[in-house]
């Protein structure tokens, strides 16, 4: 008979299928990314579809990103003021908020919002195309569905996530300006002069560069989940849900890696 200690040392058997599924899915996603890299520079180029997807991603996400950024800037300013006031450092409030938003809060909040909105939208759209056999019809008609569907959407996400991050940062700083003036009287010029003069190259550049990787991860995972969705109506919901979860997790992992790399050069 097995002792109690032996049974405690062995991991539960139900964990193995989960681990195997995760590793298999990660390997397939890596192969999907390799296929993307191989195909992206090969003609023909679908410029019109790329511009259409860029417009859809940017236009449909701008309002949500802008409102969220504005609220984040306003709330961060209101919550930080009492702490800084205890140390007599209220004058540092614009600079502190600006550095926090530009370096970390703006990019990560924008990416997570887009992972939920853009990632789920791409996953649901492509999975419904798979279920209704539109992708198979494109292959029969001689059109490469990977170039027309996947390449354009991933590149659109890579382009638009940094643009949306810039808008989010701008709205957040304006929200912070209004938050400062709730209990004070700071001019628009003075606030942004204090906020922007404290930003350095190492605050702005790494934060901007990592948004391209966020966009790539969101677009690629959304396309992968939708392009390889199972047939049936359940596959559409499953693809959209898994795209959100996987894209959000990828954003946090990439952000952790970017922070570690940035800290080496600072």
**Sign of the four-CA dihedral 180, 181, 183, 185:** positive
Instruction: Report pLDDT digits (tens) over 111-165.
Output: 999 999 998 899 888 888 888 888 888 878 877 888 889 999 999 999 999 999 9
Task: Name the DSSP class of 91.
Answer: G
| Mean pLDDT computed over every residue of the chain | 86
Residue 252 CB partners (closer than 8 Å, separation 6+): 108
Instruction: Kindly state the average pLDDT of the residues 45-58.
Output: 90
Task: Name the DSSP class of 43.
Answer: S
Q: What pLDDT is recorded for position 24?
A: 83
More confident position, 5 or 256: 256
**How open is the CA angle 260-103-155, to the nearest 5 degrees?**
85
Instruction: Report pLDDT digits (tens) over 159-170.
Output: 999 999 999 999
Q: What pLDDT is recorded for position 1?
A: 47
Packing angle of the helix pair 201-227, 233-265 (nearest 10 deg): 160
Question: What percent of the chain is predicted at pLDDT more than 70?
Answer: 92
pLDDT score of 71 more than 70: yes
Q: Which two tokens stand for residue 35?
A: 């296929």
Question: Percent helix, strand, coil in the chain (nearest 5)?
Answer: 85, 0, 15
Q: What pLDDT is recorded for position 23?
A: 81
Packing angle of the helix pair 188-197, 152-180 (nearest 10 deg): 120
Cis peptide leading into residue 102 (ω within 30°): no
- What per-residue string of b and e applies to 72-95 under the rule 16 or more CB within 10 Å gives b? bbbebbbebbeeeeeeeebeebbb
Q: Which two tokens stand for residue 261?
A: 């790399």
Confidence of residue 72 (pLDDT cuts 50, 70, 90): very high
Domain residue extents for the chain: 53-265
């Amino acid at each position: 008979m097995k002792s109690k200690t032996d049974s405690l040392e062995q991991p539960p058997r139900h964990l193995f299928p989960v681990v195997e599924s995760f590793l298999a899915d990660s390997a397939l996603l890596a192969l999907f990314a390799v296929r993307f890299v191989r195909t992206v520079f090969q003609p023909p180029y679908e410029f019109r579809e790329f511009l259409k997807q860029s417009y859809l991603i940017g236009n449909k996400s701008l309002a949500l990103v802008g409102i969220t950024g504005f609220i984040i800037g306003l709330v961060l300013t209101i919550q930080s003021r009492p702490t800084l006031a205890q140390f007599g450092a209220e004058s540092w409030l614009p600079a502190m908020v600006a550095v926090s938003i530009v370096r970390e809060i703006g990019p990560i909040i924008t990416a997570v919002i887009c992972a939920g909105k853009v990632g789920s939208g791409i996953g649901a759209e492509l999975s419904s195309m798979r279920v209704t056999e539109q992708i198979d019809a494109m292959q029969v008609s001689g059109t490469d569905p990977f170039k027309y569907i996947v390449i354009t959407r991933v590149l659109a996400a890579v382009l638009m996530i940094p643009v949306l991050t810039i808008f989010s940062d701008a709205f957040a700083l304006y929200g912070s300006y209004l938050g400062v003036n709730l209990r004070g009287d700071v001019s628009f010029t003075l606030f942004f002069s204090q906020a922007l003069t404290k930003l350095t190259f190492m605050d702005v550049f790494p934060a901007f560069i990592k948004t391209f990787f966020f966009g790539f991860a969101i677009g690629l995972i959304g396309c992968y989940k939708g392009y390889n969705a199972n047939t049936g109506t359940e596959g559409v919901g499953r693809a959209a849900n898994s795209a959100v979860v996987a894209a959000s997790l990828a954003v946090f992992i990439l952000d952790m890696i970017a922070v570690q790399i940035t800290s080496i050069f600072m």
